C-alpha cells in the first residue's frame, strides 16, 4: 500500500516538474520575439534620422535658400518641412530640393513667409 502511494507521489512530482519546464520554455520564446520588434523600430528611426540629415544637407547646399529657420522631419520617406523663410520663392525651392533627395517619397511643405527682422 505504501508503495502505491509513493508511486503516485513520484508521478505527481514528475508532472509538476514537467509543466514548470514547459512554462519556462514558452516564456523564453516570447522574450526572443520582442527584441526583433524593437530592433525593427530602431532601424526605422535610424533611417528616418538619416533621411532628415540628407534633406537638411541638400537644403543647406542649395543656392538662394535660407535654412536657418527650417526644420526637417522624416517618417518612412515622407518629409515635412516646417519653419519660416523670408520669401515665397524660397518655399518653392525648398520643396523642389527636398523632392530631389533619394529616399523621399513625399514632401509636405509647412513653411511660412516671415521677412527678415520680424
Spans of all domains in the chain: 2-113
Query: What is the distance between the alpha carbons of residues 11 and 21, in angstroms, rounded to a whole number?
Result: 15
* Predicted structure pTM score: 0.66
Q: Provide the residue count of the chain.
A: 118
* Per-residue pLDDT at 8: 80
78-85/106-113 β-pairing: parallel
Tell me which of 118 and 39 has the higher pLDDT.
39
pLDDT value of residue 105: 94
Q: Which residue has the cell 509543466?
A: 19
Longest dimension (CA), the chain: 100
Confidence label for 59 from pLDDT (cuts 50, 70 and 90): very high
CATH topology of domain 2-113: 3.30.1340
What are the phi and psi torsion angles at 101 (to 5°)?
A: -80, 135
- Tens of pLDDT, residue by residue over 14-58, are 777 677 765 555 555 555 556 677 778 899 999 999 999 999 999
Amino acid at each position: 500500500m505504501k508503495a502505491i502511494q509513493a508511486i503516485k507521489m513520484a508521478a505527481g512530482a514528475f508532472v509538476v516538474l514537467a509543466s514548470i519546464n514547459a512554462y519556462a520554455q514558452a516564456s523564453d520564446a516570447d522574450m526572443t520575439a520582442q527584441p526583433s520588434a524593437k530592433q525593427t523600430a530602431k532601424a526605422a528611426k535610424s533611417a528616418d534620422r538619416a533621411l532628415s540629415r540628407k534633406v537638411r544637407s541638400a537644403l543647406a547646399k542649395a543656392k538662394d535658400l535660407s535654412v536657418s529657420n527650417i526644420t526637417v522631419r522624416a517618417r518612412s520617406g515622407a518629409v515635412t518641412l516646417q519653419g519660416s523663410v523670408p520669401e515665397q520663392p524660397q518655399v518653392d525651392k525648398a520643396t523642389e530640393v527636398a523632392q530631389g533627395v533619394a529616399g523621399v517619397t513625399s514632401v509636405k511643405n509647412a513653411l511660412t513667409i516671415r521677412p527678415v527682422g520680424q
